[in-house]
Structure 1
């Protein structure tokens, strides 16, 4: 019979065991080995059955077992020690506190923000809290964990999806199938945020037609960092509104719009509620991880408007303290909504009624060449509302500047104000316990923990002293664990596909712990090219079945439920892996997630990544593999383009020239992959030196750990965010008082209105001919028209550098020119300055005028520039010898 109602019955812990509840409710257990080992010791079998989830474990214990534990002195001593360690961890001084203390002692005041609110549509903290789909969520989870380790005062904000992302299985013929199990928050490691009277705290959004969207707030404690998750499945909502947070990346356009309004607008309201109830410092900086949460800026502007600030001034004040991170290298990957759909959800009859709808729309409209005039672009809004913006690798920063250059017309992509902070991964989450123990044996547990959280190359240098034998035994042990894991998962998968036990004897021979093992696991959009390895099946068969140097491949990944193209790629791979000739050498594991990944990364010898360059924004899976001594074999894209060295991996050559036929490109790059595997990778793995060990391979493992280890850490990433983005945003936030915000808004309005009158009228230099000597200095004289503006409103610059065949200046240097005297009778101003010729070869210069104000973040901020017309001045092309 089916129950008509479901609820959770929780055990009552005896008083001596009460700290177990605190340990289970703080998600630090997900990366703290001693805490996990404590829970495992409670009941090893139930620990496994509960998928290593402490909340589920405690909920399954019998009263007799609880009584037994409450009387176990040894267990209680361990419990007390670990509970005390958690208390020290969440209250003690960490890296961030030492930075603020050092600033205070220096007499300059603390420049770091008192708090930062970090918004993301998904968070991958642990498999026990399945609120993630892929890399964006795992990155967000690693960001929170590392912020906790470093003591950075973050508040995470997301949504609580009642179905999470989908669970993946395969049909008999290899087609992806999706199921959406219901998640009961009462069985998850979260707690309701409550008002002082004990009632659940709620936020509310106004919807068209007088309706409301209400959400309560669940709190997940991620070490020191609170994570607020908004849940619309409350009785006060109508059925449609209850389903807004039903599943991650589900539903149509309006469904997604409501999710993003709840995340951004409702998220700000949830942060305000949390700070009111707990006394947590209010955030000075708001960081939106991708454009999904971009509406948070509108809510913050509305807050200031309620205090008497005008919209434009409120916009300047909000921009000052906002950081926007883009993860998308292609326009098609950005959320865009129909203009009329957005307009219907704002204004007098819906949300933010005190803000004019046209002002809301102006923030997201694609008002640039090539843009769609009727689409509201969430990334465009994120950039317009964020003073600080970044991509997630050096190459992705460049791609982002080119992709969004239309927002800054007249500027070269290199000057677009989008920087980059290369992603990192949370090492304590992704490093296998065996790897940690080897490090602890070499330099001690405390120094190893510091190396994994804070970084520091000096600690990683100690890898050089680990004996080859220890490294090789570790790698084989991890490979052997992966073989066991793969066989268990493969057997379960085949049973789901309808196979009987009698058909599955062959699985006992799947994979070999002494064979070179390659891993490939990620989402399955077409650009990641899951099936590139199948391009020449005969060559792949030869590699898999080589009599002396075979390879074996473990593949995993999910296609979006609406992506039939991605599902066909999975089916193609699965059908190949089902072939009895090779099924012991290549496997596809369904339902890729954090629990699988934590076994997969350490157990592989090679991590394969072959996206279409440059469409991989960062690609952090290879970082997690590298931290376990796995070598990367990848296209030079994302982080690998930035940090690749032949000492510790291989780069797959690309055929990404313009006009290259896609099929031909895949053929060329697949052939390059096969060549690398046949000629360089497999020989190095199987060639043993005089010691009987593959010493050249072991040296590459050592180089991977030594040189990539400190770089790929999320601790390094979070420190960069603090120093390069959060601290400047906090300073700008404090500077942008209401009066300063009004001043800047009024000045911008005046400059935009008058900019059409700004001109470069005449340019001349002292150059005697079209050649000049290296090291000489030219005198530059420029006559400009400023119209209604004054010299204090602008900066006149000389821009110089090498020129290409089309006279475009590359690697430009800018020098400000100075006004000489007052305006002439025609109102023109004369500017002068030196132009130093410090490079040989074809060289050129031009002149431009930019807006200038002490409160601007950059000279490109307003997207305004005046340059000479074609008939002005002498042109570019001063040639130096």
Structure 2
């Protein structure tokens, strides 16, 4: 294949003829390609699958992480062990493209690999690597670990994605109409492109930005002098950078720079769009921020047999299929933990990235009610936890390990390791209740519930992220009614949410599952039906062309 004048290797639909290069730090396209950590990757993976289905003129730019994010294993006592395993991918093509970028005043060789659209049904994806014998060891490690804990390595990774990605596009002679940054990790590309376009005004015509972070503290900032020392600004002096970005202090705020360089940005749910506009309104020179709600690829995620029996109105087959999906997933639970779960029992699953605000262990904050819940003879439950904490987020790892120790006391409570695409799908199939309890309004979108609904799980969530656009309480899911959170401190908010979650479980959800199976089935179906149209990533990929790229 000729990569010197690269074109998308299929005829693009006229509606989507505008050329777009989509930059993301991670892509969760399929289980065998382990270059993702969590929601951001799941989102960009679904985006590339839908771009392929809709035949959009779009390519993905990412990094080939040698050790992936990390492999989640167990210590002797079942607690979390972080392991690093070299990944080998025979299905990636070597493009033969090699070029240099400057990092820390030193030339670093970059090699580009290619994921053919036919391999996993995704838009063309180019992945960059510095793991080459021509580079010194430190330069080789830039692409070793996704979100490396070392600050300098992380800045170098941002440069590899941004500057390296923009340079690769020149090597391909792709000449995109737009550079789309999915999160601000790749904003170093703007400094590279400024040399090409010569002015911020001209750059703005070609740059759009998606923000995923609903609070200012969560946006990446790095010492501006460190960035300068590392050649992040492509030859611009600090004074020039301050003038170009309007950043006065010594912290280079990647998102703020992106919002000032882009012609348009978007939040990832209606609520997040509103929160983002409020959050950034105190800064001048910000581009307009709209919202395009995240979505997931229905064709990849949904259980087709479950949908077929729903469409045929065959309730017996529908129930039987869900029972089978649960039974099959429980084999994994038994294999990992030695616990035999029963497919007839209501199963609650909490599975996603472990982070403080997501409150993974929330149910265990009131042990009296927790014990009553898991020992309920009339309305029995089973609980599964899974998810990957960031490998050096010790509070999150402690939270995970505490749940492992807690689970040892119960036959019907399990904690699983290895939460990636494949296990994620199985756990959604295992789930009757997909529990999601972040502190409002800290979840930008929280897409895991979408794919849960595509597999017949019912969402039970605090009212955050995409949930206000989806859940009609008691009709297609269950939602904790919002309190006046703005006038509550964190402890009051936690106490209110926890009480409501238990109250709804005890008085509404459990009796409904066991005493009114027909109503329960209808809620399940309503969720499946509502998620299919509104939260399939084909809708989202289409909206990007309509709202952000036009």
| Cα distance in structure 1, aligned partners of 2:525 and 2:215 | 36
Residue number among 195, 218, 221 corresponding to 2:116 in the alignment: 221
Equivalent residue, structure 1, for 2:360: 530
Asked if 1:660 is matched to 2:531, the reply is no
Q: 3-state SS of the aligned residue for 1:178?
A: strand
Q: How many Å apart are 1:467 and its aligned residue?
A: 2.5
Equivalent residue, structure 1, for 2:179: 286
Residue number among 310, 317, 322 corresponding to 2:202 in the alignment: 317
1:223-252 per-residue CA deviation (whole Å, 9 max, x = no partner) reads: 362111110011111111111111100142
| Cα distance in structure 1, aligned partners of 2:225 and 2:9 | 47
Q: How many Å apart are 1:165 and its aligned residue?
A: 0.6
1:588-642 per-residue CA deviation (whole Å, 9 max, x = no partner) reads: 0012111111211122111100000001110110000111121100000000022
Q: 3-state SS of the aligned residue for 1:244?
A: helix
Q: 3-state SS of the aligned residue for 1:638?
A: coil
| Cα distance in structure 2, aligned partners of 1:207 and 1:351 | 10
- State the TM-score, normalizing by the size of structure 1: 0.59
| Cα distance in structure 2, aligned partners of 1:234 and 1:666 | 49
Equivalent residue, structure 1, for 2:59: 155
1:197-212 superposed matches below 5 A: 201-209=97-105, 211-212=106-107
Equivalent residue, structure 1, for 2:218: 333
Q: 1:544 to 1:557 in 2, by over 3 A?
A: same
Residue number among 604, 607, 628 corresponding to 2:431 in the alignment: 604
Equivalent residue, structure 2, for 1:256: 154
* Structure possessing the higher radius of gyration over alpha carbons: 1
Asked if 1:239 is matched to 2:137, the reply is yes
Residue number among 484, 501, 508 corresponding to 1:673 in the alignment: 501
Residue number among 284, 287, 294 corresponding to 1:423 in the alignment: 294
Q: Is the 8 A contact 2:265 2:287 kept in 1?
A: no
Asked if 1:401 is matched to 2:277, the reply is yes
Asked if 1:266 is matched to 2:164, the reply is yes
1:314-713 superposed matches below 5 A: 314-346=199-231, 352-353=234-235, 355-364=236-245, 366-367=247-248, 373-408=249-284, 417-435=288-306, 438-439=307-308, 463=310, 465-490=312-337, 507=338, 509-579=339-409, 582=410, 584-646=411-473, 647-655=475-483, 657-688=485-516, 694-713=517-536
Q: How many Å apart are 1:718 and its aligned residue?
A: 0.4
Q: How many Å apart are 1:657 and its aligned residue?
A: 2.6
Q: How many Å apart are 1:363 and its aligned residue?
A: 4.4
| Cα distance in structure 1, aligned partners of 2:513 and 2:87 | 44
Q: Is the 8 A contact 2:485 2:493 kept in 1?
A: no
| Cα distance in structure 2, aligned partners of 1:394 and 1:676 | 26
1:793-821 per-residue CA deviation (whole Å, 9 max, x = no partner) reads: xxxxxxxxxxxxxxxxxxxxxxxxxxxxx
Q: 3-state SS of the aligned residue for 2:534?
A: coil
Q: How many Å apart are 1:426 and its aligned residue?
A: 0.8
Q: 3-state SS of the aligned residue for 1:632?
A: strand
Q: How many Å apart are 1:566 and its aligned residue?
A: 0.7
Q: 1:567 to 1:434 in 2, by over 3 A?
A: same
Asked if 1:115 is matched to 2:19, the reply is yes
Equivalent residue, structure 2, for 1:192: 94
Q: How many Å apart are 1:113 and its aligned residue?
A: 4.4
Q: 3-state SS of the aligned residue for 1:710?
A: helix
| Cα distance in structure 1, aligned partners of 2:180 and 2:294 | 15
User: Number of matched residues?
Assistant: 540
Q: How many Å apart are 1:549 and its aligned residue?
A: 1.1
| Cα distance in structure 2, aligned partners of 1:238 and 1:681 | 58
Equivalent residue, structure 2, for 1:448: none
Higher relative contact order (CA 8 A, sep 6+): 2
| Cα distance in structure 2, aligned partners of 1:571 and 1:711 | 37
Q: 1:174 to 1:560 in 2, by over 3 A?
A: same
Q: How many Å apart are 1:172 and its aligned residue?
A: 4.2
Q: 1:160 to 1:365 in 2, by over 3 A?
A: farther
1:72-151 superposed matches below 5 A: 91=10, 97=13, 99-100=14-15, 112-151=16-55
- State the TM-score, normalizing by the size of structure 2: 0.93
Q: How many Å apart are 1:654 and its aligned residue?
A: 4.3
Cα RMSD over matched residues? 2.1
| Cα distance in structure 2, aligned partners of 1:320 and 1:351 | 20
Equivalent residue, structure 2, for 1:770: none
Q: 1:190 to 1:142 in 2, by over 3 A?
A: same
| Cα distance in structure 2, aligned partners of 1:207 and 1:707 | 48
| Cα distance in structure 2, aligned partners of 1:676 and 1:560 | 31
Q: Is the 8 A contact 1:151 1:224 kept in 2?
A: no
Q: How many Å apart are 1:653 and its aligned residue?
A: 3.1
1:699-757 per-residue CA deviation (whole Å, 9 max, x = no partner) reads: 1112112222201100010010011111x2xxxxxxxxxxxxxxxxxxxxxxxxxxxxx
Mark the runs of 5 or more structure 2 residues left unpaired by the alignment: 2-7
